[in-house]
A and B are shown apart, each in its own frame.
Chain A
Amino acid sequence: MLRRTTAALAGSVTALALLATACGGTGQGASPTAKKTGKVTFWSFVKGSDEVAAAFNRSHPDIEVTFETVPSGQEYYSKLTNAVKAGTAPDVAVVEYPHLPEFAAQGKIEDLSATLGPVVKERFPEAVRQLVDLGGRTWAVPRDAAPLMMMYRKDFFTRHKITVPTTWDAYRNMTEQVKEADPSARGGVLYTDNPGLFTALAWQAGGQWFGTEKDSWKVTLDDGPSKKAAAYWGDLARKDLVRSLSSLDPFWTSVQKNRTVAYVCASWCAGAHQATVPDQKGKWAVAPVPTWDGTPASAMYGGSSFVIPKGADHTGAAAEFIKWITTDPEGMKAWVSSGTSSMFPADPALVPVTKAAFGTEYYGGQDVYAVGTESYEAIRKGWTWGPVMGTTNTALVDELPKVADGTAALPGVLTLAERTTVAQMRQRGMKVTAP
């Protein structure tokens, strides 16, 4: 059971150096000539993973994929980390983009540059490539992108003659109009248990929380654009123009009870929304996410990619499986076979596949994927997730409830989270140049 611990150690050193210097080297890890047969263990929490594994097994008799359900959230990432440490990792695992740099920097995943690097380069636009190519190496293959969009109650907006906002200034007016039209309704939400949406809004504003420079990291959570977005959302929350809610059932309750009539979310929300609030069919529509200056700008909230953990037994077969589930039309079809997912494929060529599977009746025939495509193309370049996102997210989440009740200001929360992040990075031996 003892596997390649020295290789893992060497990998972690290289990975760190690579992430920092952004220069290439000789390929290591999964070799392109590895045998493409054998048994593949596959960890995922993404809905439909079981059907994808079954479909793959049907069409690939030489490879046998065993799917294992794991819970999502921070617990999953500590489980995966420990599995790699103990040499019991699966052959394929799902990793959401924010957590990828952490796994790469710690040498916990295989460098896929030689095997799947060309595929990634050929099939995916820069907007998502920047999240899986770190330090000039490819560490994962994207499955879905999650470009931002806005969901709103068409019937409510029409009835009260509210126009759909295209800028954040107009969005603020909209929230005021909504509150005036119906004192129990609000035109937006600031999640108190999930920093993901706010992070995406900072990214969309032009913020760059992390960057690499020579041999060190730059951490600037409270840069100008991020502070601007923070001040804006903090203000809306404090003035009770948007709801401050947990993203779990309190949020969906507010939607079901007509108390949330507009909110910013990502492409996948369209499917989640339709499944969770089916009786509001025909009342909702999607629109591009508002921007600061009127020119299209977007970011990603969510999305997942697939990696080969260090110590995987059958890297060749694993790479074959990953390629199929991310870039093959049949594989993409298997993901959305339930017909309820509005997942936006990271490979733009596969959009027709998912679009065909997603019914448009709920949104009154609107082409949700057209809005998604526009948003995907407008995603800001240059965003990098940090190497200790678990810590960063916790630091943010701990303070978010205080923003709602006015005991903390959102821009200040960013500064605080930056300090916690930098401390954690230094503790792990990373070089951080102060902003």
Chain B
Amino acid sequence: MTTSSTLPPAAPAPARTPPAGPAPRRPRRAAKPPSALLSKAGVTALLALATLYTLLPLTWLVLSSTKSREDLFGTNGFAPGEEIHLAENLKHLFTADGGVYLRWVANTVAYAGVGALLAAVFGVAAGYAFDKLTFPGKERLFSLVLLGVMVPGTALAIPLYLLAAEVGLVNTFWSVFVPGLVFPFGVYLARVFSAAYVPDEVLEAARMDGAGEFRAFCRIAFPMLAPGFVTIFLFQFTQIWNSFFLPLVMLSDQDLYPVNLGLYVWYSSALSQGHPEDYLLAVVGSLVAVAPLIAVFLMLQRFWKSGMTAGAVK
């Protein structure tokens, strides 16, 4: 997009070299010849670099997951091992420590899946209310929400822990699940979405036809906000899925761990204590753990894409 906007309209489309003369319409920007970085080749190279940066760790992960322990240390990280060991590794992964890995996956699905679903419902409802309804202290309350957006989740982990200890929730499912339901950024996003997608006239019509506020939200507004809902869900889903510090301080019962914490336990003490098989477990476990995330994104990416640009021009 940047490239084409710097080119004068008359220039041939796949121009390799930047236009020499000043363009009549945008003299200021065209006075400097666009840098080589902005040329098509430059952009392509940059993107290729970014792709490599993203895919290299994944390549390492996929290749390493198929190796035996000897090959893991004995062969290059980006070369395949002597033998394909993936089936054995997976079997080991799902049976190690009495099959605790599956338990971790189930926990993570509950924390991230159910948690994000509820968080998105609450977020959309709250954002809609902030946009369409009037009530005393509305903007002040919304500033509070914005304040919540500014504070990073990690900074809240310790205060949350102390609170959970007060009410005796430490080391329970709820100690990780409940904080995941709160998603201020989702409320903010939902307000923007509501302003963009739900015309006031439609709601007015609904009210005229005798729909109550709740019914108007559920039956009229919510379907219109569906792409926003999915976006908020995805945001929060990844956030909970990746959340590490909160479960780390909250949980000590291995059966309640999310998958990332469990993998960290395997990884952190494997090599120093002479358990290379745990190291391999952590590698294979990571591969299996990223798979659902990739699946969710592939399935929901059209919502995600439409969601990201929504409101950009309004």
Contact = CB atoms under 8 A, between A and B. Distances in A.
Interface of A: 1-2, 43, 45-47, 68-73, 75, 78-79, 82-83, 85-88, 90, 247-249, 252-253, 255-257, 268, 271-279, 302, 340-341
Interface stretch (B18-26, B245-253, B287-295): B245-253
Contact of B165 (A88, A272, A276, A278): A88
A50 to B, nearest CB: 9
Contact residues of B: prevailing secondary structure: helix
A385 B165 CA distance: 31
Nearest to B73: A256
A1 B171 CA distance: 13
Interface stretch (B39-47, B176-184, B228-236, B261-269): B261-269
Contacts of B137: none
Interface string B112-135: 000000000000000000000000
Interface in B77-123: none
Contact of B274 (A2, A86, A274): A274
Interface in B275-314: 275-276, 279
Contacts of A278: 70
B268 A72 contact: yes
Given A68-B252, A88-B165, A277 B272 contact: no
B170 A88 contact: yes
B72 A249 contact: yes
A87 B170 CA distance: 10
B271 A272 contact: yes
A13 B121 CA distance: 50
B268 A47 contact: no
B271 A75 contact: no
Contacts of B165: 1, 86-88
A272 B272 contact: yes
B252 A75 contact: no
A417 B10 CA distance: 62
A272 B274 contact: yes
Interface of B: 70, 72-74, 158, 161-162, 164-168, 170-171, 248-249, 252-254, 261, 264-265, 268-269, 271-276, 279
A275 B275 contact: yes
B118 to A, nearest CB: 26
Nearest to B269: A72
The 6 closest A-B CB pairs, nearest first, are A272-B274, A86-B165, A256-B73, A275-B274, A68-B252, A276-B276
Given A1-B166, A47-B273, A253 B264 contact: no
12 contacts: A47-B269, A47-B273, A47-B275, A71-B261, A86-B170, A87-B165, A88-B165, A248-B271, A253-B74, A255-B73, A275-B274, A340-B274
Contacts, number: 98
A249 B279 contact: yes
Contact of B252 (A70, A256, A273, A279): A70
Contacts of B261: 71
Given A71-B269, A275-B274, 18 more contacts: A47-B275, A69-B254, A70-B265, A73-B268, A79-B252, A82-B161, A83-B170, A86-B161, A86-B164, A86-B170, A87-B165, A90-B252, A252-B276, A256-B74, A275-B276, A276-B73, A276-B274, A341-B274
A69 B274 CA distance: 17
A255 B72 CA distance: 12
A75 B264 CA distance: 11
A86 B271 contact: no
Contacts of A271: 274
B271 A247 contact: yes
B43 to A, nearest CB: 32
A303 B162 CA distance: 31
A252 B73 contact: yes
B273 to A, nearest CB: 5
Contacts of B248: 71, 75, 79
Contacts of B168: 1
Nearest to B273: A47
A202 B221 CA distance: 69
A2 B253 CA distance: 21
A69 B268 CA distance: 12
Contact of B171 (A87, A88, A268): A88
A249 B271 contact: yes
Contact of B268 (A71, A85, A279): A71
B161 A71 contact: no
A252 B273 contact: no
Contacts of A276: 73, 271, 274, 276
Contact of B265 (A45, A85, A279): A45
B72 A268 contact: no
A111 to B, nearest CB: 24
Nearest to B162: A86
A86 B162 CA distance: 5
Given A70-B265, A257-B74, A82 B271 contact: no
B73 A253 contact: yes
Contacts of A277: 73
Given A71-B261, A86-B162, A249-B73, A43 B273 contact: no
Nearest to A78: B249
Contacts of B264: 71
A75 B168 CA distance: 22
Contacts of A268: 273-274
A79 B249 contact: yes
A196 to B, nearest CB: 9
Contacts of A1: 165-168
Contacts of B249: 78-79, 82-83
